[in-house]
Amino acid sequence: MKENFLLITGGTGGHVIPAKNFANYLSNKNKNCTIITDKRGYKYFDNYNGKIYIISSSNLNGNLIFKIFGIFQILLGLIQSFIIIFILKPSHSISFGSYASFSPMLTCMLFKPIYKVKLYIHEQNSIIGRTNKFFLNFSNKLFLNFDIKSKINSKFKDKIFVVGSPENNFQKNNNISTKNSKTNFTIFISGGSQGSEFVSNFATNLIKIIDDEKIIKVKFIFQCSKHLIKKYEAELQNIKSPIILKDFFINVDEILANSNLAICRAGAGTIVDLINFKLPSILIPLPSSKDNHQFFNAEILAKHELAIIFDQNNDDLDKAKRHIYETYSNESKLESMNKKFDMIKVKNSNTLIYKLILNAN
């Protein structure tokens, strides 16, 4: 059967962006590639020219009425998936997780004996998501972003491969020391793909303290939700330090490459970027993340002393301030961080996944 790749994703940028990057890689190799996603995920495909199908999905959150409505959404997604996959006849289907992947993966599983479709899973987080876990028994291979093999049942050991996260082609490997310009020390603040009022409030209070103490010279690049822009513009109008405040930055790679420290959530994509750009950080895991996976993501950097983790329910501004001042002034610590970042191997994920798929049994 002709190679026909189907990439399944949805929900947040942490699930969608790796799928989009791998889709672009396949397209550049002139491979036939189709995306199935949901309405939430579709907004992240702004620079992808391949074929995309949008299906209905639901995470079944909320009260009884929302749950009943969610069940109908899932059933509709199953019907849509059945029609799409019946027509596509994929040879390889890769799930990048999220609840939006459930209906297409279930459909692929049903078609597996007919089309001989091979099923793959890519897990971005430090804990396997519930949808991916459900299909693990039926998958040919499990691709991991982080080395979490010890957390997975040993019966799956032969199908597990640590491959990293599919990335774009931007050159990201920086030397932390060359960025430590005290005349242009830059802190990047981001609430993640969904925005975060807590992170924005935390950062705003921190900015006020740092600006008032005048111990360091710092520039702030601040991403927050669109509906909160005016609120923070008003709160920060008397700040003397340079601040760029927007709801969206198209040049995030360039910003990360030139920043000295980040204040952010701990989604899988964020952790990968912090590693690739060798960027020290203050991480505030989302407490409501499934199975608390953002905390475990953050631990990957914290155990190497490359980040400090804050509990959202105990926002110690003084601790955060001290971490920023030390990152600004302690050159020996920065050099040590640089070596520790080098110890975290960055894989050529796109090529590795592609080769493992071609060599599938």
What gap in Å lies between CA 24 and CA 5, rounded to an integer?
12
Q: One-letter amino acid identity for 354? A: Y
Question: Which residue type occupies 247?
Answer: D
Residues 6+ apart with CB under 8 A from 171: none
Three-state SS for 64-90 is HHHHHHHHHHHHHHHHHHHHHHHHHCC
pLDDT of residue 12: 86
pLDDT at 136: 94
User: What local confidence, expressed as pLDDT, does residue 59 receive?
Assistant: 85
pLDDT tens digit string along 325-347? Answer: 999 988 888 888 888 988 887 78
- The domains located in the chain, with CATH, are 5-167+346-358 (3.40.50.2000), 176-343 (3.40.50.2000)
What does the pLDDT look like over 35-49, one tens digit per residue?
999 999 998 888 788
Question: Residue 319 and residue 141: Cα distance in Å, rounded?
Answer: 43
CA distance 135 to 112: 13
- 265, 192 contact by CB (below 8 A): yes
- 361 class by beta-carbon count within 10 Å (0-12 exposed, 13-18 middle, 19+ buried): exposed
**Rounded CA separation 222/249 (Å):** 9
pLDDT, position 142: 96
d(CA 153, CA 314): 34
Give me the phi and psi of 61, to 5 degrees please. -85, 165
pLDDT value of residue 101 = 95
**Integer Rg of the chain from CA:** 21
Q: What is the pTM of this model?
A: 0.82
Three-state SS at 135 = helix
The β-bridge relationship of strands 307-309 and 261-264 is: unpaired
Which residue's entry shows tokens 């242009």?
184
Distance between CA 230 and CA 247 in Å, rounded?
Answer: 11
Percentages helix, strand, coil for the chain (3-state, rounded to 5) are 50, 15, 35
Spans of the chain below 70 pLDDT:
1-2, 169-181, 192-195, 360-361
Q: In terms of C-beta density within 10 A (0-12 exposed, 13-18 middle, 19 or more buried), how is residue 134 classed? A: middle
pLDDT at 85: 96
Residues 6+ apart with CB under 8 A from 267: 12, 13, 14, 125, 192, 193, 286, 294, 297
